[in-house]
Amino acid sequence: MSVREVGPRDGLQNEDPIPTAAKVELIDALAMTGVRRIEAVSFVHPKAIPQMADADEVWSRVRRDPRIRYSALVPNLRGAERALAAGFTELEVVVSASDTHNQRNINRTTEESLAELPALVSLVHEAGGTLQLIVSTSWGCPYEGDVPVERVLWVAGRGVEAGVDSLVYGDTTGMATPPRVTRLVGATRTAHPGLPLGLHFHNTRGTGLANVYAALELGVDDFDASVGGLGGCPYAPGASGNIATEELVYLLEDMGIDTGIDLPALIGVAGLAERLVGHKLDSQVLRAGPAVR
């Protein structure tokens, strides 16, 4: 089972900016919980996402644990060049299945982003890295409504043609439900049976963990989550945070699935995240604690 912690990037990008030192503190604290994958920063234009304007400085100050795979999100070739120059070898590029969301998010049409994928793949692979395609708004768009499965598969297929190393579907607006997850994952398994697939759920409408359970039944074993339930999307009005990492770990461990993550330690870091952003976070496990204290 692979759990990627995305709080330092996807979580914090939807909060008021916090000091660089606080971001570094959060990343280093997460590294002590047994999490083995952390999405640390994104290399986006500071005018677009000012919360990530200090990405280079954050990364230079992180106490890098050799047991952990750190990754960075990029929107385009320029972002990839910056990430590679900073020393990242695991990169993620995000493309929205919804054309309107892609334009609001990175000021390009979906087709324009997809057209750049072959060059991105070449750049990253030549540097010895890997590139993951994250398809956002895979289950719905705040501007266009439902996104057809065929549209998502078209974006995924273009990624496969370009040579991406793996795929993640993002439920940017929390519109996914278990039946929708089953349809999209099933169709993807049929179209691209050998492609590594991860899922990124938000809990906007309270279905996040139910969606995880449905995906587990289909054999998916790679999930993103955010400590404390931090997050949302600056370009998806009303979208609340990601599923909370501690809630995901609580569910998986109770199902007998070993995550290698220390739940009490993780809950402690969720409390730290709450203090750093200065307001109450949505995680129920943060409030209630583990089943046995």
| AA letter at 274 | E
Residue 139 CA to residue 49 CA, distance in Å, equals 23
Residue 203 CA to residue 208 CA, distance in Å, equals 5
Give the closest residue to 266 by CA, choosing from 290, 246, 247: 246
Residues 178, 150, 165, 76, CA torsion sign: negative
Token pair belonging to 241: 């945070």
Q: Which of 83, 233, 252, 261 is catalytic?
A: 233
Contacts of residue 132, defined as CB under 8 A and 6 or more positions apart, other chains included, come to 71, 90, 91, 92, 93, 164, 165, 166, 167, 168, 198
233 is catalytic: yes
User: Do 241 and 201 meet the contact criterion of CB atoms below 8 Å apart?
Assistant: no
Active-site positions read: 233
